[in-house]
Amino acid sequence: MKRVNPLYIVLALFLLVVVLFVKLEALKEEIAEEKAAYLETKKTAEELLAYKKLFGNKNYSALKDPKVQLTQKGKHLHIESKSITLSALNSLMRKLLNGSYIIEKLRIEKIDDKHASVVVEVRL
């Protein structure tokens, strides 16, 4: 029987180690890519959660004021006042602009130095 040369065994083991090392490096690169994709997805999810908190919870009761009339027309909230004082108008506009409301229509007309009329449509 012929004996196998020990150099062949060493060469085969060396090739096996090289192949395993190449595969290990490829897996490391794949893991790095997956980690980057995971971090990007996590960042996007956190942004979406922040947007959901900002725009998802609408509190229209903050807009209630005895000087204005609130009516709902389809998917819009119609806020109207024929005569409102400028300080009350300022308060209403502060609530609208500081809140996360989608304003579809805004019309303000000056009646005199102390009063104005206002029509606002907010998307629900």
Together in a domain, 83 and 103: yes
Pairing state between β 69-73 and 76-85:
antiparallel
Same domain, 37 and 5: yes
For residues 4 and 38, membership in a common domain is answered with yes
Asked if residue 71 has pLDDT above 80, the reply is yes
- 117 shares its domain with 78: yes
CA distance 39 to 18: 32
Check whether residue 49 and residue 72 sit in a common domain.
no
Whether residue 85 sits in one domain with residue 38: no
Instruction: Note down the domain range covering 67.
Output: 60-123
Distance CA 88, CA 115 (A): 9
Which helix (H) or strand (E) is 31 found in, with range?
helix 6-56
The CA distance from 46 to 82, in Å, is: 43
For the stretch 13-61, pLDDT in tens is 999 999 999 999 999 999 999 999 999 999 999 999 888 877 766 667 7
Domain count, the chain: 2
65 and 50 within one domain: no
pTM: 0.54
Q: What percent of the chain has pLDDT over 90?
A: 54
Q: Is 19 exposed, middle or buried (0-12, 13-18, 19+ CB in 10 A)?
A: exposed
The last residue of a domain, from among 16, 34, 57: 57
